[in-house]
Structure 1
Amino acid sequence: MEYRTLAGTDLKLSALTFGAWAAGGWMWGTTERKDALQAIRASYDNGITSIDTAPIYGQGNSEEIVGEAIAGIPRDKVQILTKFGLRWDLDKGRLSMRSKDLKGESINIHIYAGKESIIKECEDSLRRLKTDYIDLYQLHWPDPTTPIAESFEAVNRLIEQGKVRYAGVSNYNAEQMAEAEKTTFIASNQIPYSMVNRRIEKETLPYCIKHHKSILAYSPLERGLLTGKLKPGHEFAEGDHRATNSYFTDDSIERTNAFLAKLKPMAEAKDATLSQLVLRWTIEQPGITIALVGARNAEQAIQNAAAIHIKLTPEEIQFINDLIPPA
């Protein structure tokens, strides 16, 4: 595995970081707890020491699974990244979406990053994760109802108390990052980035490069679209958010698979899967520090980790870039 230092910190993260959204079983259809635990442990055994989660992923379930999975591992050998600012148990802030919890009961999810709410969220996360500190604490989504300064004053307090090591943001644009930086040091921005979603290249990516901020790319496989395994007419499990996502229409899947077919000879020549080639390409892109990738079981986790062994020359990267369809 390769390890990369989060900009402006002494925190080293595995270039491929385990993304634990699906492990929580929320919005991805059914996820078996034992499979999720085995996936995280297999990832760690193969060098993936960093795990990204959030309270909203299964309404605490993902964090609890992460806490159980890393039990017994020396705390300084694993890096925990989690988030705050999405509440399903508090009617404050801006309504983000209506959903169902793991029991099938309706919940309203609010974006809210008020100071006292953040303090409570941190305590709850520490308890679920069974740890006394979080390596990177990230504001999950911009909260239009709370001043950015108020949110990060709370994070500063947590840093002073030793409960959080570093602050980050998620889904922030360049202007919001600059505003947050007035209150505390922001190490990173976790934001979507993939071969078929390169929107950040216009503004956010240049800002992060200029100001020496790390980018944690999530959905590098575009939630499975870039694996090449999906076919038009695919039926998603009940509760899987991809069923209504525009990336997963039959036309989109067909176009993407036609593009991936052009990459397949390169992957085969490297004795790699398309997923592994896509992951390696992602972490080779300018400004991208790490890529988050999930796994439903140990086999997928081992395959993901093996992507680190693929080598791409500048010429091969340019070849891939030239093939990528326009956004």
Structure 2
Amino acid sequence: MKKRKIGNLTVSEIGMGCMGFSHGYGKVPETSYSIAAIRAAHDYGCTFFDTAETYGREQFYRGHNEEIVGRAVEGFRKDIVLATKLHISTEEYDPEGDIYNVLLRHLTASMRRLRTDYVDLYYLHRFNEAIPIEKIAESMGRLIREGKIRGWGLSQVDVSILSKAHEITPVTAVQNLYSMVERDCEKEIFPYCIEHHIGVVPFSPLASGLLSGKVTAETKFGTDDVRKFVPQLSKENLEGNRPIVELLEEFAKVKKATPAQISLAWMLYKYPNVVPIPGSKNKERILENLKASEVTLTKTEFARLEEALGTMEIHGHRGINESQQHSFSSHWMKK
């Protein structure tokens, strides 16, 4: 796979989100299958794997996903970029204390589960409004200087938060929601990140399956499935967003690709600093998404896509301004 730079890190131009092996998309596969799927992604050429300490709820435990990823990548750990995230509760924060010790405690536990002595990219999962982002940035800088992490990032932030953090300790990557139907990042995040050499790592780049064309109004979501909360996937919004799916299907037919691959190829063409991390618990789907790197849009094809998308109304919107106190993910974070 072709490579891209996010901050000071070099990664495959498409990464892999590993959350689905632990929760969020219904029944999870057997651990052996999950490990094999991660290794298959690496065999294909993926060198960028994303997890978090909070991935592992319902029938599993906090840290479950990190343990799976750690087991899967142990044999080629030095050849990849490993990203994980921490969630700091308000109860852990002492305004008179050193927040560094809190970060270090979380990081040490994550490294143990990941079977590594360093983390390449350490994100603050959602910023906590009770904790000054500047203090987090200072502590991340110390972790970098100590060699415990190589870079750090933020998730679901706008430029006002990003710039405050970046001025203290340069940010490596921003992991925000971005896709054809969630384009808030285009207003300020991408321009700021390109100017300051920060990577943008879109999660849910396929809009939780909407842009694959495989989620329909008849799709049923189980108890442990975040998709039932995704705005674009309500029955009425699925119908409203159908023209976008049809547009992708049209291009996919011409390019001998899938709608999902066209969607990923579109953002890869559009921004040099974007590295999407589509997530799936299905090995075949994971490899299909990675193979979007083999789909090359021409200048004319990209322009046609952009023009058509510009005429289409988007139904359902989540946005990127999320904190721990005001987050789409708070339902899962609190468990």
Band of TM-score, shorter chain = 0.7 to 0.9
Deviations 1:242-282 (A, max 9, x none): 11332111121122233221232321222111111111112
- Could you tell me whether the CA contact under 8 Å between 1:39 and 1:300 is conserved in 2? no
Match of 2:249 in 1: 264
Return the offset for 1:92: 4.3
Question: Per the alignment, in what secondary structure is the counterpart of residue 292 of structure 1?
Answer: coil
**Residues 1:29 and 2:14 are matched in the alignment:** no
Whichever residue aligns with residue 129 of structure 1, its letter is L
Match of 1:326 in 2: 313
**Residues 1:143 and 2:146 are matched in the alignment:** no
Return the offset for 1:180: 0.8
**Residues 1:167 and 2:152 are matched in the alignment:** yes
Q: Which runs of 5+ in 2 are unaligned?
A: 57-61, 315-335
Deviations 1:290-316 (A, max 9, x none): 011112122112211211101101111
2:79 and 2:229 mapped to 1: Cα distance?
39
After superposing the two structures, state which structure 1 stretch, 258-267 or 128-137, moved more.
Answer: 258-267
Q: Structure 1 or 2: larger strand share?
A: 1
Match of 1:293 in 2: 278
Q: What aligned pairs does 1:305-316 form with structure 2 within 5 A after superposition?
A: 305-316=290-301
Deviations 1:104-161 (A, max 9, x none): xxxxxxxxx9432211110011000000111111111122111122212221222122
Match of 1:107 in 2: none
Question: Per the alignment, in what secondary structure is the counterpart of residue 269 of structure 1?
Answer: helix
Match of 1:109 in 2: none
Match of 2:103 in 1: 118
Q: Which runs of 5+ in 1 are unaligned?
A: 94-112
1:5 and 1:210 mapped to 2: Cα distance?
14
1:61 and 1:202 mapped to 2: Cα distance?
36
**Residues 1:70 and 2:77 are matched in the alignment:** no
Deviations 1:22-73 (A, max 9, x none): 1222x32221123322221111111011101110111211111100111212
Whichever residue aligns with residue 156 of structure 1, its letter is G
Match of 1:97 in 2: none
Question: Per the alignment, in what secondary structure is the counterpart of residue 316 of structure 1?
Answer: helix
Match of 2:168 in 1: 183
After superposing the two structures, state which structure 1 stretch, 50-59 or 206-215, moved more.
Answer: 206-215
**Residues 1:3 and 2:32 are matched in the alignment:** no
1:258 and 1:172 mapped to 2: Cα distance?
29
- Could you tell me whether the CA contact under 8 Å between 2:173 and 2:200 is conserved in 1? yes
Match of 2:117 in 1: 132
Q: What aligned pairs does 1:18-97 form with structure 2 within 5 A after superposition?
A: 18-25=16-23, 27-32=24-29, 33-58=31-56, 59-73=62-76, 75-87=77-89, 91-92=91-92
Whichever residue aligns with residue 5 of structure 1, its letter is K
1:272 and 1:86 mapped to 2: Cα distance?
41
2:243 and 2:106 mapped to 1: Cα distance?
44
- Could you tell me whether the CA contact under 8 Å between 2:124 and 2:155 is conserved in 1? yes
Q: Structure 1 or 2: larger helix share?
A: 2
2:265 and 2:44 mapped to 1: Cα distance?
16
1:248 and 1:31 mapped to 2: Cα distance?
21
- Could you tell me whether the CA contact under 8 Å between 2:6 and 2:273 is conserved in 1? no
2:295 and 2:230 mapped to 1: Cα distance?
31
- Could you tell me whether the CA contact under 8 Å between 2:66 and 2:110 is conserved in 1? yes
Deviations 1:64-83 (A, max 9, x none): 1100111212x321110111
Match of 2:325 in 1: none
Question: Per the alignment, in what secondary structure is the counterpart of residue 219 of structure 2?
Answer: coil
Match of 2:323 in 1: none
Whichever residue aligns with residue 236 of structure 2, its letter is D
After superposing the two structures, state which structure 1 stretch, 131-140 or 165-174, moved more.
Answer: 165-174
TM-score, length basis structure 2: 0.85
